[in-house]
Amino acid sequence: MSAGEQPEEAETTYREAMREALRDALRADDRVFLMGEDVGRYGGCFGVSLGLLEEFGPERVRDTPLSESAFVGAGIGAALAGMRPIVEIMTVNFSLLALDQILNNAATLLHMSGGQLPVPLVIRMTTGAGRQLAAQHSHSLEGWYAHIPGIRVLAPATIEDARHMLAPALADPDPVLIFEHGSLYNASGVLSPPAAPADIDHATVRRPGTDISMITYGGSLSKALAAADELSTEGISAEVVDLRTLRPLDNEAITATVAHTHRAVIVDEAWRTGSLTAEISARIAEESFYELDAPVERVCSAEVPIPYARRLEEAALPQIADIVAAAHRAVG
Q: Which residues are catalytic?
A: 68, 137
In three-state secondary structure terms, 327 is: helix
Q: Of how many residues is the chain composed?
A: 332
Of all helices (H) and strands (E), which one includes residue 240?
strand 238-242
- CA nearest neighbour of 316 among 134, 184, 125, 136: 134
> End-to-end distance of the chain based on CA atoms, in angstroms?
55
- CA nearest neighbour of 167 among 151, 157, 156: 156
Distance CA 221, CA 217 (A): 5
**What are the C-alpha distances in Å from 74 to residues 106, 129, 300?**
11, 29, 35
On whether the CB atoms of residues 241 and 266 are closer than 8 A, the answer is no
